[in-house]
Copies of this chain bind each other. A is one copy, B any other.
């Protein structure tokens, strides 16, 4: 029932001694999704004890180097480790140039398949689904085609109280009905109400990753009510002209969007190397959206499993 984000890199394009380029791993029910793959991603995975082999799906927001330069090393290491599983990459179709360069010069005898799932960046689309979650793209506004990703757990059924199955000798066909909301009639004709038989289902958890982007309110409906929201905040407010010029966001812009979208918790990262201490930056966000955290490389941010009341 995990739902947690490990930050592998929280610098913007220029890394620092404390912050690697952009990369994250989202763990949903022990399925691990890599989100962006900046230089050094494989070393960060090693450092933070996440097995490389657990990753089968890589989501790339856009094709700036600080979000993809870790692919080369990771793809090579998978080959050396004799990977067998297919590796799925979800990205803008232009990534084919990078994958072709890699295959032509370093990956001619790859022992596993790379399966590219290209997507358009200007419309939101469902790009991944398994039994636990869906992943949809969130069109963003950056200097090149860019999307965010919305990871959302699927709606969950009610859980039946296990002790009552035994008590009333409930059959499997009836369990299915009860989970869907039915009451239960015992062999004596007694009606047991559904609310007595079941626990409320777990709340659906979601994570929206939005980097890189300029301030845009168009994304609000897509990220509305999200449990965990990651925004790039490359700049402080005093540098908002630079933010606009380079299609990035300031801390208070990110917080404004988080507030308008009624997000539960805001993570900010992708900090410019010019800020030696990001405390002032994150405080700008906190003034607008209190539940804001400046991410650190290696820290795990968890959304707990909670039942609906």
Contact = CB atoms under 8 A, between A and B. Distances in A.
Instruction: Please name the 6 residue pairs, one residue from A and one from B, whose CB atoms are nearest each other, closest first.
Output: A39-B73, A17-B46, A40-B40, A101-B101, A69-B72, A17-B47
Nearest to A41: B39
Interface string A190-234: 000000000000000000000000000000000000000000000
Among A42, A43, A63, A81: residue with most chain B CB under 10 A: A43
A106 interface: yes
A20 B16 CA distance: 16
Contacts of A76: 13, 65-66, 69
A73 B77 CA distance: 18
A81 B16 CA distance: 13
Q: Give the number of times this chain occurs in the complex, counting copies.
A: 2
Interface string A65-84: 11001101100110011000
Interface in A265-282: none
A131 interface: no
A106 B40 CA distance: 18
Nearest to A101: B101
Given A15-B77, A65-B72, 5 more contacts: A15-B42, A39-B70, A65-B106, A69-B72, A69-B76
A162 interface: no
A53 interface: no
Interface in A130-153: none
Nearest to A107: B65
A166 interface: no
Contacts of A66: 73, 76
Nearest to A105: B97
12 contacts: A13-B77, A15-B42, A15-B43, A15-B77, A21-B73, A39-B43, A39-B69, A66-B76, A72-B72, A97-B104, A97-B105, A101-B101
